[in-house]
Amino acid sequence: MSVQPGSTPLPVRRYTAAGGVVVDGERLLVLKGELVAGAGTPGEVLDHRMTVACGDGALRLTEVQRAGGKPMSADAFLRGSRLPVGARLGTPCPATS
């Protein structure tokens, strides 16, 4: 199955299963995203819309969840957090039980 950029938002299993990524020292679960055109070093934030470079293309994060928090849209996350263009998302956190 091939997913094209701009298609319907899709669940992101890799980071939820691994326990999330680190953003500014905080664990963040990536719940949904959509594939978009983009290039950069994997994990690099490409724009102010939470678009993150991948090995091939980019993923615009559309739904995230802070550790211990409720799921929220990427827009809501960005209203309360600073994620500058060029920042790198940290490595996946170990899964916690």
Say if CB 28 and CB 67 are below 8 A apart: yes
Structure confidence by residue, pLDDT tens digits, 41-89: 988 999 999 999 988 899 999 999 988 899 999 999 999 888 889 988 8
Confidence band of 29 (pLDDT split at 50, 70, 90): confident
b (16+ CB within 10 A) / e for 56-69: eebbbbbbbbbeee
Q: What local confidence, expressed as pLDDT, does residue 20 receive?
A: 66
Q: What local confidence, expressed as pLDDT, does residue 17 receive?
A: 45
Find the domain containing 69 and state its range. Answer: 10-80
Kindly report the backbone phi and psi dihedral angles of residue 28, in degrees, each rounded to the nearest multiple of 5, phi listed first: -135, 125
Global pTM reads 0.72
Please tell me the chain's helix, strand, coil percentages from 3-state DSSP, rounded to the nearest 5: 15, 35, 50
Residue 88 falls inside a structural domain: no
Task: Return the higher-pLDDT residue of 52 and 18.
Answer: 52
CA distance 14 to 33: 12
Total domains in the chain come to: 1
Residue 4 falls inside a structural domain: no
